[in-house]
Amino acid sequence: MTFELGVYSFGNTPRLEDGRRGPTAQAVRDVLEAVKLAEEVGLDYFGVGEHHMRAMPLSSPTSLVNAAAASTSRIKLSTAVSVLSTDDPIRVFQQLATAAAIAPGRIETVAGRGSSTITFPLFDHDEHDYDVLYASKLELLMAVNGSENVSFNGPHRKRPLQNATVFPRPEVPLKIWLGTGGSPDSVYRAVELGLPMFLGILGGTPEHWAQYGRAYRAAWVRAGHPSEQADIAVAVHGFVADTGARARATYLEYEHRMMAEGMAELGRPAPRRADRAAAFGPGGMVFVGSPDEIADRILHLHGLLGHTRQILQMDVGGMPQRDFLHGIELLGTKVLPQIRTELTAR
């Protein structure tokens, strides 16, 4: 499998000169501008995550995927993540199938439970049904992706489906990744369902996450799946600037702001600034540095984990759009060529 490098975003509501937040609509427009640049500089992938916060307002990732599909020609596009527990899997499929009609072979989805329960009251669900809803809806999403005629009776539905037809259809089935923040149960669920695994990582060490790769592949083989089809991707926080010092100073300011404000909305304590700064080093899982540093760190993680794709969330905390775009440019023109050259040599 070819190693792929890319970016993902939950949206980044800009800051005005007086420090107040700008319009959330601008965050949507900024993402579409970033997708176009990511394609221009040769990146492989752009993912659109789902959050329902003023600071990160991309609440409808399938809508953004459709808009990006119409304005690009090569780059792979995906939700990263769709919070399936509180969404309708048939509508998620139909919206992504529409994008696949516009951009054949370039549309994927990462289906996850969500990192918080904020969407449950919003969409009138009981958070105690968190896992039941996710398991049932994931099963239905896979069913409609596999066949245009579906019969299904799961606990999230009041009435069973009887030979229902779902359109439009993509020319080839969508690639569905199981998104997980590291729950061991999710690792084994991905194996049981025969799905590739997308790890969303906020902390830990490369050695820690390598254990998940080993567990996934060992269980995959035990389940009787072809070993070469075991596929792992990684989503991390990260930022690239011309120098490592500039990258670390910039990202620490904006990432800490994002986490402090986001956790406040969820009623949780924010991580200490010093703890996040420590995670920026080679032993951590926040990929911040110069192009050479980022390439070395991605290659090191690849040697441990064997993942086929890594994506970075760079636009955080009201970071100016110009800094985000420059990071994308460096990722595509400086980091990716180094990774490809090294992996080819290996």
Over residues 219-255, the pLDDT tens digits come to 999 999 999 999 999 999 999 999 999 999 999 999 9
pLDDT digits (tens, 9 = 90+) for 63-78: 999 999 999 999 999 9
pLDDT reported for residue 306: 96
pLDDT reported for residue 56: 93
b (16+ CB within 10 A) / e for 262-282: beeeeeeebbeeeebbebbee
| Nearest Cα to Cα of residue 262 among 118, 75, 99 | 118
In the block, which residue shows the tokens 């995670």? 279
pLDDT reported for residue 103: 98
- C-alpha span between 311 and 27 (Å, rounded): 19
| Nearest Cα to Cα of residue 72 among 28, 31, 25 | 31
Local confidence band at 275 (pLDDT 50, 70, 90 cut-offs): confident
CATH class belonging to 4-345: alpha beta
- C-alpha span between 77 and 109 (Å, rounded): 8
- C-alpha span between 24 and 318 (Å, rounded): 11
pTM: 0.95
